[in-house]
Structure 1
């Protein structure tokens, strides 16, 4: 459930509907649009150009960067060498070793051995591993022995004639020095560059640099580092950067990815996460606690790159921290975005439920946060301001907003710690806006509790996160209409519809019209995640996809770019007619499922409202009536019950019955046998991924909820703190009547809901951008929308600039084809009142000059 805020009126505008006084007096009533059998639906759209709606901050839309989907190393961070400091290991990923991405190589009869060591000869205390190369002295003057790095993805992407900066830290025990050679080559050893020769002298760590220029363009190169002679050579921080990074910065960013982010014109940059921030342990990277799974701590990520810590990434890989807090602040400045860092609050989230009860550790993290503000804003005479200046930026970065915590599932524990952070920050930096959060979902007990705590404490801003189905976004355009105008402001830090089809982007666009309409409440908003490696990713949807040499915007990227570059500075009150609604009863078969649990089901009975038996199964004759999904779980009849025995399997849904069933009662006995959660009983099943289910003992057996799945996502309709006992048999009954559902557990009413919210496909908002009216219309349906538009003023230019995103709802942008791209044109015939037909499945921006 969302917080129950009241609707308020301001300056003659009803914020819930954005009608100014003249419209409210009857200029245009909101009546359903008329349907045309030819596939066109008629609408009206009225604008009150003389009225004033909420102001829109220039920072309303921004971007959120988290190192998920290999977004940093091998992504935005331009380093081309993977595992450059030999720090990979099973703490990062079970398949990793210190030589991941490296291979031994030899030529001309040279021999030797390589070994990754952590000994007294290490580069420094944080960069502990290094490569020891013992050269056997074979191969004469031409033989060479060493290692080759395969880069990321298919290899190292090179462009003919471009410059690539090589560097390595090295030392040798040979008094005369060791001749080191670096070159770029193909997988079969064909050399692509003139060899770069370096003489390593002395047995102390020294940085050596040079430049390589490839003779060909390829996407599958390798970097070879070899040596001749005998003795022991030690190597660390083997690096290769394209000279052409974003803004030409050393230790910089991959240009095409940075440019695509900059093209969004973001108002803020939230970093570095996400779940990355508040998961793992909370130990410092200090001896003797060489902890590789710890929370993200900003001090690990600044200073010379060779002295920065490494960490096991929450998403199952390694992170080097070459892209650190200094680089984040610099990138925000480069793209004209407000920096918005997030620090851990010592309460885990993202499916982990643990609070750290250590007053000294809490005090240290609070001090670290105060030091972060000093690093961003302090004078060069302060300790951390001096550190920033030493890194190359004497001028303060201008930090104004800071988030504490992310998606915590323990609301009271989080808020107690958040309060301590807030008290300390406000005492020293009252100018900083401190952002709290509301947990991991758009509704539910955690959401309600955190909003209540935030409201009562007078918190400035609350970070909401949700990933839901396209239908949810179409149904919830009015979500913020009723939020308290005097309460905390909203930072919608993470949201997306769960896929990358154009249908998903259309639903997000429809929702964004509601964000703009409520710009006085929703002050910041960012789609998430931002980046994804097409070959290695943990999450879909994503805004920008890439491989080792190409990048492309998803359909959602095109929507975000259109909105972010045409926001305007003030909402203009407007209203449109609605789409004729056709709402039938909930229909569908029934199902049984488990999630990381073994459970038994028996005595299933489905009875129609008139008393007819639709299904009755006690499994004495087997389970032939039930259809499993291939590869999900292990179902068999055991001891007269239908049992799923694989505790590791998730979403093991088996179904029975007719998709056309309606108005029925489902009864079943369910018993949890073992595992992490409870059991799931489905109804209204109309296909894989399209159903309702009662999730009893979900989320690690911490709560229960009714979820609605469809279009690749889920939404929660009802929630309760019910947990499930192992070995106990529960009597479950689900009563479906029309669109109302009532649920009973052991004969007692557990809850009920009516799923009758309209998924409105025609949404709009109007903003003023200096002298222009920007009419933004989303038509997320198969019918075209023939619309009579009243601009509310005759002082308009006769033509308008038209920008349209249009395509099939299943269209997906890829590396080879981007069917969803903006199309611009000039629209004549603009007057106070005119008619325009918005195409089916489209987002359209009409920019009209007002005189």
Structure 2
């Protein structure tokens, strides 16, 4: 998961640089689509489309992992989240309630436990608004307990007022050794705001740990929340990439191994297997606590349950995701390499091997058939990463030559890190490279041909993370247009997965997301519906086809200017704008007020000693603007000085509004690189990058020359870079594949515009007279929610022939399954 700054806006389609019909207001635009059904293009692997699971947005605990009790082992800690404590999500009900962390603990990985001075009780509120139960369903309660005197333990599901919603579980706790006690509660009423009330009767002290409430009705009986797992399974994914993401390779805040075994340890697979009460509970990169109840065994099991290839990712001991550290401990590196070899044995080894035996003891004697494994994720230190990656790769290939070891190309689709990693990967003979990018809808419409020019004999591409920056239908349309290019290049792009997969609506660290949920319901986003359409209609190979383009025009870059900062205090001075002919358009030396500038409301902007100063070093995206939206062909000059903070400064041009602009991001990404970014509808994409860093206290001369669609940038009088933003966001895209099992051509057409696309289709072979059509259609701003899902596919029958005309609706994706008679 990349840390690229993401801005979200409802106005996605309004100001795109799109190809527009030449006739302006025409209801239809005419196209031709020619298909050479007698020829065969690249083969498409069954595993091409998959899913990427990362424990982000509470995707695991409170999500896919069906456990209903939050903080079941009392391990929440302020070291993980400042708002946490050992009784987070718990409340005393009666009597004396204390936490203990002493030699009486259950084991070294499960340190804290609850002490009740009897009679006493506690209440757990679960996730979201409470614990959701359904009338008539059964829920398994379990707890590890010990008592210095015989005690009666009762567990009940209640409403917030304390009224019982089912028959209670009652067990007798005898003995002062940790013992697991179980029972089943049958819910008599449905609720989304339930509580788990646990009480102890008698005298003396009752100790509790690992308090659990699990629905009996889980996906295939393997402990996963049924509705979420079924939505994932309905995609028919070819692979599951897990467990991250930034979660994997960032280590803890203290480095790759914390000072003690229990707290803030980096994600390591061995911590996540075995009996759940013996698994670690740990810090999560995304700001909360993770229980590891959903661990490596469960990931492998889930992949098998849905018929997908497992694709785990292990840390390379070089941080990514905005961090820049690499281990220099050879012993630690050697240990992680051995852990990776042990992981392969856990997945594939015989039941009598050391780690294969552990898999068998957990209930799966047969191997999981692991074939691909990723090492590292979004590293920002290319050379350091490759030095360590090759050690992992060589050790794995020496023992397991059939395993494909996947490398990566950093956190973005372009730039110095991306180029260097591709160079190093090619030199090292890497088989597959994992690319990640999150960009604006316009970027996806503009880059359908991204992989057309990739080396057919070079490393294959695993597009492990991608998404258009919002969850509106227009985002899904732009992704669909891009996916036709992925399929056309299936000889290069072997695997692809939208990301992230899951988001709990009350715990969102990142958006967009494919599947949304709360404690009682789940729904697919527009992108989920789009992914499902592609993933369940892949085909076996590409059929060559060509389509005409949309008649188009391109206007020059126009817009006002702007100044901004991101987690940085900075000052600006001597701002001037002149036309290409030398006419003065704007000038401000801040000898007076800032009345000519429009503020966004973020940051602390004031004129101080003849300069314009943004003094809040914590504020983000503090954009202020000035000038005329109609300006074109101009030169912007200014002086900029970083005062303090994490980054540098941002100089905007071509500003139409706060969601549509270009800016030169100098010293971005924690002052690790600089870039030019383009925002469209609030979503950004990177046009070019450079490794420039910004020094605090130094004044920089900044010049931006805008000519037509060409921009040149100068820093301290030296040309820093230049680009021409002339890619068209083509709204009409297509790809054709063949399903060998059914004998059908699958004609896939994306029409991401407000005009219908009247298309003459030439198949060149005799076909049946009718075809099955599956259509997604909606308004660009439509969003699927819990209560309304306007974006759903519909099935139709259409008339076809070897040559026929079909009109594709506005803002639609259509899959035609046409049976060939030849």
TM-score tier by shorter-chain length is over 0.9
The correspondence for 2:60, drawn from 72, 78, 83, is: 72
Q: Which residue of 1 aligns with 2:793?
A: 822
What TM-score, normalized by structure 1, do the two folds share?
A: 0.93
Counterparts of residues 1-400 of structure 1 (less than 5 Å): 35=23, 37-106=25-94, 112-135=95-118, 145-174=120-149, 177-249=150-222, 252-281=223-252, 289-290=260-261, 292-400=263-371
The CA distance in 2 between the partners of 1:537 and 1:198, in whole Å, is 38
Equivalent residues of 1:34, 1:43 under 8 A apart: no
The correspondence for 1:523, drawn from 494, 501, 506, is: 494
The CA distance in 1 between the partners of 2:698 and 2:74, in whole Å, is 51
The CA distance in 2 between the partners of 1:439 and 1:273, in whole Å, is 14
Equivalent residues of 1:53, 1:573 under 8 A apart: yes
The CA distance in 1 between the partners of 2:262 and 2:684, in whole Å, is 36
Provide closer, same or farther for how the CA distance between residues 574 and 759 of structure 1 changes in structure 2, counting only shifts above 3 A. Answer: same
The CA distance in 2 between the partners of 1:329 and 1:712, in whole Å, is 38
Provide closer, same or farther for how the CA distance between residues 755 and 34 of structure 1 changes in structure 2, counting only shifts above 3 A. Answer: closer
Counterparts of residues 454-469 of structure 1 (less than 5 Å): 454-469=425-440
Q: CA RMSD in A?
A: 1.4
Provide closer, same or farther for how the CA distance between residues 165 and 291 of structure 1 changes in structure 2, counting only shifts above 3 A. Answer: closer
What TM-score, normalized by structure 2, do the two folds share?
A: 0.96
Provide closer, same or farther for how the CA distance between residues 637 and 37 of structure 1 changes in structure 2, counting only shifts above 3 A. Answer: closer
Is 2:411 the counterpart of 1:428?
A: no
Equivalent residues of 2:251, 2:257 under 8 A apart: no
The CA distance in 1 between the partners of 2:255 and 2:661, in whole Å, is 46
Q: Which residue of 2 aligns with 1:738?
A: 708
**What is the Cα deviation at residue 268 of structure 1?**
0.2
Counterparts of residues 393-792 of structure 1 (less than 5 Å): 393-630=364-601, 632-770=602-740, 771-792=743-764
**What is the Cα deviation at residue 720 of structure 1?**
1.6
The CA distance in 1 between the partners of 2:362 and 2:513, in whole Å, is 32
The CA distance in 2 between the partners of 1:101 and 1:282, in whole Å, is 25
Q: Which runs of 5+ in 2 are unaligned?
A: 1-18
Provide closer, same or farther for how the CA distance between residues 87 and 35 of structure 1 changes in structure 2, counting only shifts above 3 A. Answer: same
Equivalent residues of 2:272, 2:295 under 8 A apart: yes
**What is the Cα deviation at residue 713 of structure 1?**
1.9
Count residues in correspondence: 801
The CA distance in 1 between the partners of 2:811 and 2:559, in whole Å, is 27
**What is the Cα deviation at residue 660 of structure 1?**
1.0
The CA distance in 2 between the partners of 1:731 and 1:712, in whole Å, is 28
Provide closer, same or farther for how the CA distance between residues 145 and 291 of structure 1 changes in structure 2, counting only shifts above 3 A. Answer: closer
Secondary structure at 2:769 match in 1:
strand
Q: Which runs of 5+ in 1 are unaligned?
A: 1-30, 107-111, 136-143
Secondary structure at 1:277 match in 2:
helix
Secondary structure at 1:845 match in 2:
strand
**What is the Cα deviation at residue 288 of structure 1?**
6.5
Equivalent residues of 1:116, 1:129 under 8 A apart: yes
The CA distance in 1 between the partners of 2:200 and 2:262, in whole Å, is 34
The CA distance in 1 between the partners of 2:431 and 2:692, in whole Å, is 33
Equivalent residues of 2:514, 2:528 under 8 A apart: yes
Equivalent residues of 2:432, 2:460 under 8 A apart: yes
Equivalent residues of 1:34, 1:42 under 8 A apart: no
Equivalent residues of 2:257, 2:265 under 8 A apart: no
Provide closer, same or farther for how the CA distance between residues 42 and 286 of structure 1 changes in structure 2, counting only shifts above 3 A. Answer: closer
Q: Which residue of 1 aligns with 2:8?
A: none
**What is the Cα deviation at residue 284 of structure 1?**
11
Larger deviation: 516-525 or 190-199?
190-199
Q: Which residue of 2 aligns with 1:12?
A: none
Secondary structure at 2:30 match in 1:
strand
Secondary structure at 1:276 match in 2:
helix
**What is the Cα deviation at residue 196 of structure 1?**
1.2
**What is the Cα deviation at residue 37 of structure 1?**
4.2
Secondary structure at 2:263 match in 1:
coil
**What is the Cα deviation at residue 293 of structure 1?**
2.2
The CA distance in 2 between the partners of 1:538 and 1:287, in whole Å, is 24
The CA distance in 2 between the partners of 1:549 and 1:37, in whole Å, is 46
**What is the Cα deviation at residue 32 of structure 1?**
11
The CA distance in 2 between the partners of 1:810 and 1:750, in whole Å, is 38
The CA distance in 2 between the partners of 1:600 and 1:690, in whole Å, is 23
The CA distance in 1 between the partners of 2:474 and 2:588, in whole Å, is 39
Equivalent residues of 2:250, 2:256 under 8 A apart: no
Provide closer, same or farther for how the CA distance between residues 286 and 46 of structure 1 changes in structure 2, counting only shifts above 3 A. Answer: closer
**What is the Cα deviation at residue 791 of structure 1?**
1.1
**What is the Cα deviation at residue 280 of structure 1?**
2.3
**What is the Cα deviation at residue 145 of structure 1?**
2.0
Provide closer, same or farther for how the CA distance between residues 282 and 716 of structure 1 changes in structure 2, counting only shifts above 3 A. Answer: closer
**What is the Cα deviation at residue 711 of structure 1?**
2.6
The CA distance in 1 between the partners of 2:262 and 2:276, in whole Å, is 19
Secondary structure at 1:665 match in 2:
strand
Provide closer, same or farther for how the CA distance between residues 50 and 33 of structure 1 changes in structure 2, counting only shifts above 3 A. Answer: farther
